[in-house]
Structure 1
């Protein structure tokens, strides 16, 4: 089954690179908030994550949410957001049929409300973790509920955890137990990647003779996977489970060594972004990992 995949950013944030990878630069680096457009022959246009939108700035305009914006400076102009990028390709927001949410941090759900006909696919445990949190606890978990549409639950399609995927890639199957056939046709496999956020979903697929494994925030830089480099202790504050995060990163390192034909894609890696992303409207100087 032939899929097509394109890579974009929905804006970016800045952090010192040494926070996201031990030994990184002390200076601020840009972290693109990538989303992926997947075109499926049966299911049409699908997004994996959404990047930021102007709604992020609205939701963080007052305290305590403003702390999020102060600690993570976000840059997303009107023409950076997913809906506008897709329009440049001739795709209307109403033509997006599914949005796969890797997890519920603001940089991944920031534009989720911009797609009025989309069904949302995610692991039930990921939303259960955040849905009833108050403002402060939600903030500590990187979750801003106002980024989701009001009818989010009505349009949700949680991953069928009884539909376990197998036979798609022996290396990934060896290292990750929780993996699910998204549409039941073997075209896209969701893989649970523990550590960064509860119920974080990666996505494996084949597109145009390439094997792709989107790994969300299992790390921030491709170099971290190649060399199995952990983030700084400061970054551990935002992880749901530091030991699981380290274990997942080590597994990805082994997959990279054992199956170099798989292209592993962290959602914020500047190195990958500079090579593959389209329609970037901001200066790529100071990208992380480049």
Structure 2
């Protein structure tokens, strides 16, 4: 099974906003999404990253335009989802599954590019998002206009998946493909229903921890940022317990990849030859 991460865009932020005790120097963050070549499920996307659905188009809501203007994501055209699929000889129609780790715009803005894919997501979080007003969702970066109109019809919820217990230092969770190869691990704190993905059968177990922290240094050095970053969190009190779990996983020999950390990893397209 092959796993690669692409960088859909870059966003700049002052280090001290995402790392406790950091400087005011700007950090250029990646906005990763992933591609799994699964032996049974075929090509599977992990999120979609930022796409032009956020940054372009007259049909965007005022709220989405404002969001884009504040964060100013710089799209990486070479690693947009369709371009990356083409590098592997694939088309959007070849993608039968998209895993949506949470509903922030930088993780699911490109879902409409894959109209034939089933969408694995946290169905209880979807029920809560659907019940909220647009203003309530806006506070946490959720825009209903980015959900395909048939999202619910294609939703393959986590609640229907078999649960596996932790083993050998690898956290438990929902078995997404029924073979133990990809496990959805709850990562409370950053977003409602956020989950990461554990790959326990690799030679060195991997956990894609999405937005549990923005920077790897914040995770391993216990430097979770305070205000104002915590105002954006769904459950700020849960961020540190989630980080403790990830540090425990690292201590047992596992490997953690975060969505936004700027350092190139061995799983990034840019690091494949490294």
Deviation per residue, 1:120-156 (Å, 9 max, x gap): 0011122122223333222111111222222211111
Identify the residue that residue 201 of structure 1 maps to in structure 2. 195
Identify the residue that residue 181 of structure 1 maps to in structure 2. 175
Q: Structure 1: which 5+ residue stretches go unaligned?
A: 281-290
- Please say if 1:269 is aligned against 2:261: yes
Identify the residue that residue 8 of structure 1 maps to in structure 2. 6
Residues 1:207 and 1:171: Cα distance change in structure 2 (over 3 Å): closer
User: How far apart, in 1, do the equivalents of 2:83 and 2:148 lie?
Assistant: 18
Of structures 1 and 2, the one with the larger relative CO (CA 8 A, separation 6+) is: 1
Matches within 5 A, 1:189-268: 189-206=183-200, 209-257=203-251, 259=252, 261-268=253-260
User: How far apart, in 1, do the equivalents of 2:87 and 2:2 lie?
Assistant: 17
User: How far apart, in 1, do the equivalents of 2:98 and 2:269 lie?
Assistant: 19
Q: Which of 33, 40, 43 is residue 41 of structure 2 equivalent to?
A: 43
User: How far apart, in 1, do the equivalents of 2:161 and 2:181 lie?
Assistant: 17
TM-score, with length taken from structure 1: 0.86
Residues 1:148 and 1:61: Cα distance change in structure 2 (over 3 Å): closer
User: How far apart, in 2, do the equivalents of 1:185 and 1:207 lie?
Assistant: 10
Identify the residue that residue 126 of structure 2 maps to in structure 1. 127
* Residues 170, 205 of structure 2: 8 Å contact kept: no
User: How far apart, in 2, do the equivalents of 1:203 and 1:256 lie?
Assistant: 14
TM-score, with length taken from structure 2: 0.91
Give the aligned CA root-mean-square deviation in angstroms.
2.1
Q: SS of the counterpart of 1:171?
A: coil
User: How far apart, in 2, do the equivalents of 1:224 and 1:196 lie?
Assistant: 14
42-51 vs 82-91, greater mean Cα deviation: 82-91
* Residues 53, 76 of structure 1: 8 Å contact kept: yes
User: How far apart, in 2, do the equivalents of 1:117 and 1:240 lie?
Assistant: 31
User: How far apart, in 1, do the equivalents of 2:76 and 2:165 lie?
Assistant: 41
Deviation per residue, 1:167-191 (Å, 9 max, x gap): 6x33233xx6xx1111221111111
Aligned residues: 270
* Residues 212, 264 of structure 1: 8 Å contact kept: yes
Q: SS of the counterpart of 2:127?
A: helix
